[in-house]
A and B are shown apart, each in its own frame.
Chain A
């Protein structure tokens, strides 16, 4: 028994690091490590969310009025795009767990494609804000009496969605690397932790958007 386990340990060295007893223990450790990273990400975004709560509490009307300037159709569409991309991501994870390279590569490719669609839509939204002079800076314009607090709203809008978009770009890069690795057959039902933890990252970025959408797009709609 001891001999086979030693032999086993060496035949699986490509997929399993030496410090782990078995594949399950390694997978649990990798997953928990990723969650610890995601907690630091919660606090990273948390500072912006806390700022948002402070300024919205101080200037509720200005935030509601400024929020109406965002394009709710594009915002809602982008929310749906991200939610579907989370689904295609779990299809990829399922493919890696069951050894289906077709589902793995196809799911990852769809996820990257939807991520790019999200970023393109976001770019057009940003461009619209530029045309309307809603980007905080010397050329910022917004009707009185809300000019100054509206500038705060748009500062938070660009900081929060910008940091989110930066995470999306990183996510698309990660998944593209995974597509190449999956294509070369690097993942098996025994070893696919990179797919699983990259999925956790992608879903985390999705959750950030789940909160950004109502906080930024929906707060003043009933005033219309």
Chain B
């Protein structure tokens, strides 16, 4: 597979988006939204991580096998946290 070369302009746009998202997540953390604070912070963090993984780490232009490997990491982390919390969050009702 020939190597895909991403133009510097795209990288610069991604950096600008990342900095704007950082300022946004910092700003909204001072507003009291109850439980939504954590949700908004995590949504923005995942958006930033996706930008870095897809463009800076070239996942968007990588082979499907590489993308499956990367997604597997996220999936296994999900198993780790979901199964752990399925224990801790269900201890209080006996």
Contact = CB atoms under 8 A, between A and B. Distances in A.
A79 interface: yes
Contact of A222 (B33, B52, B65): B33
Contacts of B18: 83, 86
Contacts of B19: 80, 83
Interface string A184-224: 00000000000010011001101100110111001101111
A76 interface: yes
Interface residues of A, number: 51
Nearest to A55: B88
Given A46-B77, A72-B26, A89 B69 contact: no
A54 B19 CA distance: 30
A42 B74 contact: yes
Given A39-B76, A86-B56, 16 more contacts: A28-B63, A28-B66, A32-B63, A39-B73, A42-B77, A43-B76, A49-B77, A57-B85, A76-B22, A86-B15, A87-B12, A90-B11, A94-B11, A218-B25, A219-B41, A223-B32
Interface of B: 1-3, 5-6, 8, 11-12, 14-15, 18-19, 22, 25-26, 29-33, 37-38, 41-42, 44-45, 48-49, 52-53, 56-58, 62-63, 65-66, 69-70, 72-74, 76-77, 80-81, 84-85, 88-89
